Amino acid sequence: MDTWRTFAVAGAALFTALWVAGCASPTQRINEEAADFGFEHLDLKGNGFRLNAFFKPAKTASTKRLHVYLEGDGTPWVSRWTVSDDPTPRDPVMLRLMALDESPALYLGRPCYYGYSADSGCSPVLWTHRRYGPEVIDGLADALQSFLRNRAFSELVLFGHSGGGALAVLLAPRFPQTSAVVTLAGNLDIDAWTAYHGYSPLAGSLNPAETKTNGIAEYHYFGETDRSIPPSVFEPVAKRRPHARVFVLPDFDHRCCWQEVWKDVLRRAGCIGQDPATTFNAQTHE
């Protein structure tokens, strides 16, 4: 009887845990994961928007270089014809990569994401067609500027995955202290991306392919088997960018397996020591 009672209690506890996890919003899950990493939660303001953010101070000696992490587009659509009412990412790739970074780092959320989709000024167009629109870039830039205002960071490195790579390129020239941009499966040409997938054009969005980064070092990584940002389409785009180094990683796709090489990516960009050859096997095109 006691054994059955033990199984019943354990089963009920498991069911409750799964039910709570299933009912938690994407924002709640990301906030909890960030808290588990020990990140400081910030509520920043930029261009009239509220932005969710997380800060992690340096684990080692202090540095004046800040790493800024920008997540992908999340879930703008729940189907080809239905707009999402919450675009917050379900799988925060950049949040987990930031946890592997020993430098001071800021995870910067977009306007209208992370529980703010109903805020004044927000509408689905800002996470669909205008996801890289001027108001989005202005909001991110304003929030980052306010974060930097009372801190002693004099150098920035911008990191972005997927659509976050587009944002990193678009933000880079806004800050003269930007020393490098690193993208993972970055959407570096929104016209090429929509044409390849047969999507409607992102009317009102800025195209990173038309953005000059004014001599900033760029490191662009692609997964060889990525179907969302295929190297066959985006490697030529990246190679046309001045000061860019381009890497194609065998057996990687859109999300897997960036954590395995993250320390080497940081070294390659000069974020850990100097810029030695990395240890992962990548096809390099400079």
Q: Is residue 3 part of a domain?
A: no
Structure token digits, residue 197: 């997938």
CATH number where 120 lies: 3.40.50.1820
d(CA 125, CA 104): 33
How confident is the model at residue 280, as a pLDDT?
Answer: 56
pLDDT of 279 higher than 70: no
Q: Is residue 37 part of a domain?
A: yes
Q: Is residue 9 part of a domain?
A: no
Enter the pTM of the model: 0.88
Q: Which domain holds residue 239?
A: 26-277
Q: Is residue 110 part of a domain?
A: yes
Q: Is residue 60 part of a domain?
A: yes
Which DSSP string do the residues of 267-283 spell out, in sequence order?
HHTTSSSS-PPPSS--E
Residue 239 in 3-state DSSP? helix
pLDDT tens for residues 251-261?
Answer: 999 999 999 99
Local confidence band at 221 (pLDDT 50, 70, 90 cut-offs): very high
Q: How many structural domains are present in the chain?
A: 1
Residue 175 in 3-state DSSP? coil
pLDDT of 9 higher than 80: no
Q: Is residue 17 part of a domain?
A: no
The lowest-confidence range among 3-7, 162-166, 206-210 is: 3-7
d(CA 103, CA 213): 23
pLDDT tens for residues 54-96?
Answer: 999 987 666 899 999 999 999 999 988 899 999 999 999 999 9
Q: Is residue 1 part of a domain?
A: no
pLDDT tens for residues 92-130?
Answer: 999 999 999 999 999 999 999 999 999 999 999 999 999
- What's the chain's length in residues? 286
Residue matched to tokens 């800060």: 55
Q: Is residue 248 part of a domain?
A: yes
